[in-house]
Structure formats: C-alpha cells, structure tokens
Chains A and B, each alone.
Chain A
Amino acid sequence: MGVKMLRKLYVLIGLCLPASHVDADILNIMTSYPQPVVSAFQQAFEETYPDVELTFFWRRPDDALNTLLQNNAEDVDVIWMPSVTTFKSLADHQLLQAINIDLTGLPQAIGHMPISDPHHRYLAFEIAGYGIFIDKQSLEKEKRSIPQTWTDLTAPAWQGEIALPVPSKVGFAPMLIDQLIQAEGWEKGWITWQKIAANSKLISQNAPFMTERVQTGEVRAVLVMDFFAFTSMQQTGNYQFIYPKQTAFNPAHIGITINSKHTELAAKFVEFMLSEQGQAVLLAPDVKRLPVREALYDANHMMVNPFKQISTQAYDYQLGSARRGYISMIFDAAISDIHPFLVKAWTLVNDLKQQKLNDAAAKQLVLIQQQLELWPITQADNTSEMVKACETSQQNTLCMQEHHRIRVLLETQYQQAIQQLETLRFESETHS
C-alpha cells in the first residue's frame, strides 16, 4: 500500500475514534505556575483520567484576579496558583465556592500559621519556604561555617558574597523581607536587612535564575525560595539549601470558581491534586515543591518536613500582603538607593574592629555602631494613607515623598557615620 493511500486510511480511521476521546470533558484551569509544573500535573492527571482534557490559561496573579473580577470570559473552572492575596480577594468577592472533599491528612496550619481558608473556598496545595542557597563545597573547603540564621549573614566574612533580591523588582522578595521584620520586630528586622545588604549584591531581575549566581561562583549565597534552589540543584552535592531556624512559608492554593460549569469535575481535579498520588508529583525533579500532605514526608525521610522541623512564627499574611508596596518602598529608600554607603560604613566598622584601638577609640566605635543601628522610621499602620498609597503605586506622590524623606534621612545618617569612621581610622593609623 502506498504512503498516500495509507495516509488517507489513517484519516478515515481517525473519523472512528473511541467515544471517550470525542466526548472528552474539558476543564479550564487558570494558573501562574511555570510550564514544567503544569506539564507534570497535566500528564499525571490525564493518565489517571483520560476522559478529561485540561486546558490551561496562564496569567500572573494580578492579571488573573483582574480578569476574573471583570468578566469570566475564559470560563475558568479552577484557579491554581501561589498567590494568597489573589485567593483572598476572590473569596471576598464571593467568586469561589466551598470545596467538598475529604480533607483527612491535610494540615490546616503550619506552625501557628493557617494555610487554608477556614471555609474551604481555597485549599493549600503546596508550600514554599524562604531560605539560603549556598555553595556548600567552597564554604567547607575554606572551613567556613554554614549559616543557620538570617543574622549569620551579617558576619563580615560574607562581605560581597551574597545575592539579595530587591523587593520592588523581584516578586517573591517582599515576603522574604517582611517575614524577618515580623519575626524580629520593626526596628531590629530592618537593621538586620541593612547589615545583610551591606554584605550583598542587590539583584533586580530574573528571580528563577538567581541560584545560577551561586553555581557560577559570582556569590556564595543567595536568598531565595526553596523550589528555585531544589529545581536547579543537581546530584553533585556541591550546593545546599538551608531553611534558617526562623523563616516563613508561603502556601499556594487551589480553588473552584463560583461560576464553574463543571463543578464535579473540578472537585475531582482538586481531589487528585491533594491526593497522595497528586502530591507525589510535587517531588518530580522539575517541580520540587513541598507537599501539604504529611504522608509524603513520612515516606521521604530525606525531606525537611516544615510542618514539624522548622520554627515558624506566625506570619501575618493580611499585614504582609497589605504592605508589600510599603515594604518595597522602604527597602529602596533605606537600602537600594544608599547601598554604597551601607557597604562602606559596615566595611569600615568591621575593619576597625579588627584593629587594636585605644579605649577612647573603641568607645567611639561602639557609639558610631549604635548610631548606625538606630532605625529612624516609624512603622506606618496598615490602614494608613501611606501604606495604601504605596500599595497603589510606587509612583504615587505620597509614597514618593516618603521615599525621598527616608532616603535623605538614612543617607545623612550613614554619611555622618562614614565621616566619623574615616576620622577614627585615620587617628588609629596615625597613632599606631
């Protein structure tokens, strides 16, 4: 039989496809997960349910929320993404329905932190934690200690060896910054960030590729979310991701829209995603996210179980999500804009600490350091006009005015300190 004849025959065969295929149910899912994650779950689900065809609409969380609030033109049945604020807003707008599936084996909180909606309109699907991705091999080679806390990164040995994401530019960074501020308190938290920043290169782009800065040797540590590290790590054992003793975890959620035309099918999908079979897909090499189903941790003893092994002070999502813009503005004003001053001042402090200073000079150094560790910015209330203004836009006039005020304040504080430190260094060198 000739090839052309064969081809015609194949087309004819195609007209007699199994009914299951022709009648496949279609479920529309809106997501912001990357392709490898979507592909892994699509494949796993469709293998289990070959009669169901999944269609994915990709949108970033803000865009997804905007689309769903305006008009559900895409007939979305399921929302599946890491964005607490999107789900909360959808629930507030009565756009999600309660999910009626068996939740046995699915924790409702991590530490003191609730991870799912108490009314079950959105359920935690996976969690991602903040931590430090390090070049373990090179640190061990030089007998350097492995950082165990965020504060460990303020040590002088880390000078120039850290990559720190800028929250106004890198999507996951506002919560990274805020979790420490919430844990340590407003003043102490910001001072810790200033000191870490003084040791860091500030990174303004390409969040998914930040771990490469460690793997290429540009820096030895990068502050990042766990899955970025896990998906980029190979089996060489040269690198390690560390959850600091106190950190925060960000749950991703899944929910069913109130207008879904395929509610039963959507529930079946959610059930699959939260089942042991679905949760196991999270462990695939290109996915590597932390399951919410604890049984997965029991079966994989190598994995850190954040539900049991990590200390998490309750992170206030409501507070954090309301002030993402405000935190980002302060970071820019008090850290990014004056970064060279931070580096210079703390380098001088650390250098002077290594020198043999006389009593007066040593006292002077302590005073200057105390001056640098003063945080002059009062925390604005979450309902304040300032927080709202910065949440609207960093270009909002009120937000920009505050940005300018903080920058001038901190710049002056640091310039004065640098002047004093340089004088101290000069005197110290002259007398030695």
Chain B
Amino acid sequence: MLILLMPQSTSWADDSPYTENRHRLALKQSMKTMTADQFAEFSQGRRLFEQMWVIAPSLDDDIDGLGPLYNSISCLQCHPANGRGHAPDKPEQKLDAMLVRLSQLDKKGNIITPHPVYGEQLQDKAVPSVKAEGHVSMAYRYFNVTLKDGTAVPMREPKVMLSQAAYTDFSDVLTSARIGPALIGMGFINAIPAEQIIANADPDDLNGDGISGRVNWIKDSMTGLTHIGRFGYKANVASLKAQVVNAFHGDLGITSSIHPKENCTLVQSDCLKALSGGEPELREAQLNAVTVYMQLLAIPKPLSIDNEQLLLGQQMFNKSNCLACHHAKFTTSKETKPQQLASTTISPYSDFLLHDMGEGLADGRPDQGATGREWRTTPLWAIGLSKIVNSHANYLHDGRARTLLEAILWHGGEAQASQQAVINMSSEQREALLNYLQRL
C-alpha cells in the first residue's frame, strides 16, 4: 500500500510565530521577531504575570494591592508554566489552580448572577483583616465507561463542596468550577476577524448535522456595543485585555482602570475597609505589558503527521466530525497590531462558538448569554504538551478528566455523535486518534 506522508502544515519560516520546543517551558517561549521595545515590554509583562502580589501597604508599591479577597497570589499559580491548571484529586486537597463561579437561585427559581453576597466567584483567600469567603473542596463519583471493544475507561464526576461560609450560608448557590486554561495564542484569538467566527455559526442547525454553534454576543457596558465573546469557558469575554483585567480583579483582587473598585460586595464591610494598593493597583502601563506578554508568546509548532498510525488518527478525527467544532483554520486580520499577529493562518482547533455539550458537562449556571449546558469549544492546539508542561494538568473546564479519552467521553449534546464514534472505534483507531491529538 502506498501511503502518502504529508506534513500537517506548510513549511515554517524562521520568523513564524511558532516555537519548535516541546519541553516543559514550551508555552513560555517568546516569538523570535520582537523588536527591542517589544522585548522590554514583553519582559515586564512576564515579570508581572509571574509576580506574587503583595498585600498593601508595601515598600514595593508597584506590586501591592493583593485582595482584599482573592483566589491566587499570582497569575502563574492558576496557569503553571502558562499551561492548564488542575483540580484537587481528593476533598482534603486544596484548590490551587482553579476557582468556583457562583450564582444564586432565588425562591422563585430565578438565577441571580453574580451572587449578591459573594459576587462572581468564591474567593477562598483574604488579606489578614478580612474574612475569606469560604472553603471549597472537590469530591468525585467514580465509574467506568465501557467502550465497544470492551475497554473500561475510568471516569470521575466532580462534586463542588462549599463550607465555612463567611458572609451568608451557601444554600441555593449554583456553582461552576473552572481550572486555569492554557495560555496559547491569546493574541491570535483576539485577532480573528469577527466574520470568520460568525461564518461557522449555525444556531438553528440549518445544515442538519446536529451541531448548532452560536456566537455569544457580549455587550460592552461602557460603549453599548456588542462584540463576539471569544475568551473564557463560556465565551463570555470579548477581548484579551478584558480577559486580563477580569482575571486580575476576580482572581487576585487587583484593580485596574476597567475595574477600579475592589472586588467586595456591599455586604462585605471588612473587605470594603481594607487598604488599597493604589488607584488603580494595576497601572495602565502594567496592563499593557501583561497584554503584550500574552500576545507575543510563541505558539508551539504542530508536529508532522508522518506515519500510517498518525494518518489513521487524522482520518478518525475527521470522520468523527470533531472538526465541525474544533475548527482547524483561521486567518487573522491584516490590520492587527502588533504586526507579528497580522495576516497569519492559525490552527487553534476551536470555532470559539457556544455548543450544548449535554447534561453530563452542564453546570446549570447561565453565564452572560451562555446557558448552563453550553460551553465554548476548547482550542486543542498544543494539547499534547499539557502533561509535559505540567504533570498535574487536567482537561475540561473543571479538570475532571485526567486523560484525553476521558475528556472525549464526557462530550454529549451536540457532540454526542462524535463521542459515540470514538466509543465504537477499534483500539487501534482510538490509539491512533489519541496520538494524533498529541501532535496538534
């Protein structure tokens, strides 16, 4: 049999935005094409991203203002080596790279987001003069899914457990646990023209393929304009800069020009009285530097598909219709700044649309236009580096999946047919598919 060995993509120029590194620091590599000024800003951004922030007051007033309420002391804590976070494996383990979003279910059955007392997410840490909001732990129900060839795949279903409520009890709270996502190609995602994302939407499933991705339109409260949500597990953030300031505010308690007030709700009087690290704590130049850092991180270069098994895996990926949502190609806008991000063809393997992923993955918590069953298609690029970059890395929004196969088997709703196709595969086909995913 004659097998045509095709490289997965065209050749890569030296000035491409890719890195060929496949080691544990692969997601921290910078693009090679930076100017001296860009490198200076990139370096400052990296320093701030890796900085463990300080409780105010401090002699170092450029890095103080942590909290009053917070989840993590640095960006790096939830994105170790810029990779994905992980869920605790046992109830007694602490959450150190994930958080829990909150809503309240009122007596009439209405869902109130953010939670009126605790806000958008439960902050389980606080500065000394302030009470942490509560404690989160994770427990699991373990079970097996048996594939058609008889292979039993261990699965775990997470349970979010809240305790030590500091301000009001946790009755009628809706939760949604989220691990820190890997930070890959964030600038490129920001630079995809809106029309390319819209072109893949099919909210009414007019093509009848059972997949009905839709855009999560996000209204900018300042301008009133709507934008495509493209960041976050629910596609509820429209721009990279907004993603950065939201994370600083929600996760670290660091204010910025966009979130000038501390992350306290009106009933959290101790939080409201706490010392601030500045107005805002994250200065505009610092915000810009962190954004530049995200923009100019190199994307790991996909590995070539250069043997029969990988070609079979690619075939299985296509045949199972994974590409319908894990969309392979976009070309960024030519007007994009910085120049390194412009007119570039990228393969994120996501359509950045919302899809109903079924009851198994549903968090039951609507979030800015996304229903409790909908999730943004997670980009798959460089997913094969997850365990290299961080051996504890997990998959799916709440880190429930310990392996890629486990993650696939949680796919339901619009992805039910693809999941079933994987269940029906022979072990050879399945191995080939999983190996192919390692090379994206």
Contacts and interface: CB of A to CB of B under 8 A. Distances in A.
B38 to A, nearest CB: 14
Contacts, number: 123
Contacts of B50: 34-35, 208
A58 B92 contact: no
B217 interface: no
B23 A235 contact: yes
A75 B128 contact: yes
Contact of A56 (B52, B128, B171): B52
Nearest to A231: B25
B135 A60 contact: no
A47 B88 CA distance: 11
Interface in A27-61: 34-36, 38-39, 42-43, 46-47, 50, 53, 55-60
Interface in B148-201: 159-164, 170-175
A11 B52 contact: no
A62 B163 CA distance: 37
B161 A11 contact: yes
A10 B40 CA distance: 48
Given A4-B364, A209-B46, A234-B25, A63 B170 contact: no
Given A7-B364, A21-B135, A286-B81, A15 B163 contact: yes
Contact of B125 (A13, A55, A62, A75): A55
A94 interface: no
A81 to B, nearest CB: 12
Given A10-B160, A11-B173, A35-B50, A209 B43 contact: yes
A232 B362 CA distance: 40
Given A43-B96, A58-B73, A74 B55 contact: yes
Nearest to B53: A58
Interface size class of B (residues with CB under 8 A): 35 or more
Contacts of A205: 40, 43
A22 interface: yes
B91 interface: yes
A46 B94 contact: yes
A206 interface: yes
A63 B54 contact: yes
A183 B53 CA distance: 38
B59 interface: yes
Interface in B300-327: none
Nearest to B49: A35
A20 interface: yes
Interface string B119-131: 0000001001100
B162 A42 contact: no
Contact of A10 (B32, B46, B73, B161): B161
Contacts of B80: 35-36, 39
Given A35-B74, A36-B80, A74 B59 contact: no
B99 to A, nearest CB: 16
A42 to B, nearest CB: 7
B334 interface: no
A63 B163 contact: no
A7 B175 contact: yes
A3 B73 CA distance: 32
A17 interface: yes
A37 to B, nearest CB: 10
Given A17-B91, A36-B76, A206-B47, A234 B59 contact: no
Interface string A205-249: 110110000001000000000000000101100000000000000
Nearest to B390: A286
Interface string B7-26: 00000000000000101110
Interface in B32-85: 32, 40, 43, 46-47, 50, 52-55, 58-60, 66, 73-74, 76-77, 80-81
Interface string A61-88: 0110011000001110000000000000
Nearest to A234: B23
A206 B162 CA distance: 41
Nearest to A73: B128
A21 B59 contact: no
Instruction: Name which of A17, A55, A62 has the most chain B CB atoms within 10 A of its CB.
Output: A17
A8 B24 CA distance: 40
Contact of A35 (B66, B73, B129, B135): B73
B68 to A, nearest CB: 13
A14 B59 contact: no
B47 A63 contact: no
Given A14-B170, A17-B91, A39-B80, A59 B135 contact: no
Given A35-B77, A66-B59, A235-B23, A3 B362 contact: yes
Interface string A265-281: 00000000000000000
9 contacts: A3-B362, A4-B364, A8-B172, A11-B175, A13-B161, A21-B137, A35-B74, A35-B76, A63-B60
Given A58-B53, A62-B59, 17 more contacts: A3-B364, A3-B372, A4-B174, A7-B364, A10-B159, A11-B161, A17-B137, A21-B135, A34-B50, A47-B93, A55-B125, A59-B54, A205-B40, A208-B50, A209-B46, A285-B24, A286-B81
Interface of A: 2-4, 7-8, 10-11, 13-15, 17-18, 20-22, 34-36, 38-39, 42-43, 46-47, 50, 53, 55-60, 62-63, 66-67, 73-75, 205-206, 208-209, 216, 232, 234-235, 285-286
